[in-house]
Chain A
């Protein structure tokens, strides 16, 4: 039960945070969608396993880099995830690769805004990263939970910004086209993620 409660608690907490950043109820809908297409959340939500911090299995991101050195790699976040089999969905990290542009957009928005609440979000990310780095020598899902929900917040900010951009007639058509293509890619990856979850049954859901 603990992973399920934890996943819901983190999603709710980050939802409130997002609403604090942008007081528009629409954003909660975007946040819900973003959360339900994030593998880290789905592993916690659907998985039935004893959830522990220590990971015996070493994360290897290439021939020579492993353990903590992989901590800030895209391999860890988007491709490998937790090295333990029951804590990861095949071929997936903690976020869908197609959501990387969303997270980057959200991060950019937060850095650009000269408001305390955005600065606090950045600070929370930095603190989360620092704690996560020191809390476990082999990066894994449990240690990642210190910053994954905050990255999720940036992802939601990204979705919100993109939809606003799409519905503004003055904006550049080429950028709109790129946004639409990325959204199609996200939808495709999200469907694929659920297909893998339902058919390949990575942790017997």
Chain B
């Protein structure tokens, strides 16, 4: 690599880091419940060697009943040890993983298109400014780290075709991905099988390295395998409750189809045409294809909070022609490395299509690697074509291209930094930090604090922002470990805090000496009534406001009139 290329790469990496790192504690606004839970479990692990419920042998954290995979919490430990328990420490590993992914994309493109020097730089730049990548690098949502491991594993595997000892690194990264995210347990298996099929001739030549890397993978995964034998929930986590097989919609459709066939139609034929394997396969295909939809990729993005950017897709619309052209050239190309990347791209949404929450930006996040590299391939091929045909046009078209991307990136930043905090701050659980600090100031005068669990389990923010001693929490917590129909478990109380499914003033048990914390619409401005023969009125002690000045939470108590 020339000196100029090296400097250019360093500039891209530094830019990518700053795009991901600057104000990461403030944007996205608030700390999402899953991020908070990972942060507190990591803190608990650091302090006690156990999780928030005091369990050891941590290969999955029970957390809200979703059995979170452990890697993200492990990676947070150094940053929490250095910077303390706060938003920055929780999100820093994701920022670093996101930046490293930019570097991986550079080298992956270089490995695949070794003759074309332009593609790696274009691909690295595209992923550095990609809304999809920024979204998951600036929040601690598991998949950011998982994609780093999976794409890293692919990179090392492709290098191993020239230098077989890189297979060990590939194996290490694949194991890392499996410890990071449940979806990777499907993606990695499919990717490894595909790579083995594509490169079987090359792998046969380096049998010893293959056996060695498989052994490394097995050793690294053996604690997990042992854990799965001990507790099967470690394998799937909450996946079983969000899988399509748990969705009653399919069974209803099946029942309806059998009914419409009528009584005179032979039962065996009715079963042949309307059966579970067909209905589930069709549903899976439907959900898989949703991830390639125009609206999902370019217009609306993920419809589910918190991954929604208002009126903005996950990738830039400008990518579309280049991506299609790049993909077309890739399919025509007989190069095995390009074929491997193509399969990686199409395998990526399979894990997501097994769940009924689709289309999903996080479960299909692996798509971003193929997307950026194919787009870069398209751009580079177009520039080369223009260069050979015309002499001046490339400069003009490049200028327009850069301007177009800058405009789109600016629009994305506006929506991400201005619109999300002002229009949808609640989706990132904004206001919890301020709420905990206000409760801490007021709670001394009350024997009990009653809070609402609506929109997220309130206990986790109390533990996190108070840096509550895990051992004290184990002693005082009342946890119902029986999962509800969505797979969640519930913390009913700890210390002086009690949590209700939804605190609604009309139904809540009203007593003096209690601090009530609820959503704006659930606690009235004025209330008065008799309790045990005495007259009381509701006093609002404080409020937490959203950035747009609307009330998020009210903190109130009953005062004798």
Contacts and interface: CB of A to CB of B under 8 A. Distances in A.
Do A and B truly interact? yes
Interface in A150-205: 188, 191-192, 195, 199-200
B293 A112 contact: no
A187 to B, nearest CB: 12
B262 interface: yes
A112 B332 contact: yes
B385 interface: no
B300 interface: yes
Contact of A62 (B257, B265, B359): B359
A71 B298 CA distance: 13
Given A75-B286, A75-B293, A65 B273 contact: no
A62 B290 contact: yes
A108 B286 contact: no
Interface in A33-79: 61-65, 69-75, 78-79
Interface string B437-453: 00000000000000000
Given A75-B286, A192-B273, A61 B262 contact: no
Nearest to B274: A192
A111 interface: yes
Interface string A127-157: 0000000000000000000000000000000
Interface string B350-381: 00000000110000000000000000000000
B420 to A, nearest CB: 15
**Chain A interface mostly:** helix
A74 B293 contact: yes
Contacts of B285: 97
A90 B252 CA distance: 14
B1 interface: no
B300 A69 contact: yes
Contact of B290 (A64, A73, A200): A73
Contacts of A78: 286, 289
Given A69-B299, A91-B253, A75 B290 contact: yes
Contacts of B295: 61-62, 65, 69-70, 72-73
Contacts of B487: none
Contacts of B294: 69, 71-73
Contact of B265 (A72, A79, A199): A199
Contacts of B289: 74-75, 78, 100
A195 B265 CA distance: 10
Given A71-B294, A91-B253, A65 B331 contact: no
A106 B304 CA distance: 35
B303 A74 contact: no
Interface residues of A, number: 27
Interface in A2-38: none
Nearest to B197: A174
A75 B291 CA distance: 11
B292 interface: yes
Contact of A73 (B260, B265, B293, B332): B293
Contacts of A65: 293, 295-296, 299-300, 303
A122 B359 CA distance: 29
Interface in A73-101: 73-75, 78-79, 90-91, 97, 100
Interface string A115-129: 000000000000000
A191 B270 CA distance: 12
Interface string B330-344: 011000000000000
A74 B299 contact: no
A42 B231 CA distance: 53
Contacts of B328: 108, 111
Contacts of A64: 300, 303, 308
A79 B286 contact: yes
B273 A191 contact: yes
B262 A97 contact: no
B381 to A, nearest CB: 14
B16 to A, nearest CB: 30
A199 B290 contact: no
Contact of A200 (B260, B282, B332, B358): B260
B480 interface: no
Nearest to A201: B260
A74 B287 CA distance: 10
A108 B278 CA distance: 28
B261 interface: yes
B378 to A, nearest CB: 13
Nearest to B294: A72
B290 A195 contact: no
Nearest to A100: B289
Contacts of A191: 273
Residue from A62, A75, A111, A200 having most chain B Cβ neighbours under 10 A:
A62
Given A112-B332, A199-B260, A199-B262, A63 B303 contact: yes
Nearest to A65: B295
Nearest to B283: A79
Contact of B303 (A62, A70, A71, A188): A62
A191 B278 CA distance: 13
Contacts of A63: 303-304
Nearest to B282: A97
Interface of A: 61-65, 69-75, 78-79, 90-91, 97, 100, 108, 111-112, 188, 191-192, 195, 199-200
25 contacts: A61-B290, A61-B293, A62-B290, A62-B295, A63-B303, A63-B304, A65-B293, A69-B300, A72-B293, A72-B294, A73-B294, A73-B295, A74-B286, A74-B290, A75-B290, A78-B286, A78-B289, A90-B257, A91-B253, A100-B289, A108-B328, A108-B331, A195-B269, A199-B261, A199-B265
Instruction: Give me the 8 closest cross-chain CB pairs, A-B, nearest first.
Output: A72-B294, A74-B289, A73-B293, A64-B303, A65-B295, A200-B260, A69-B295, A63-B303
Given A65-B295, A72-B295, A199-B262, 11 more contacts: A64-B300, A64-B303, A69-B299, A73-B290, A73-B293, A74-B290, A78-B289, A90-B260, A97-B286, A108-B328, A195-B261
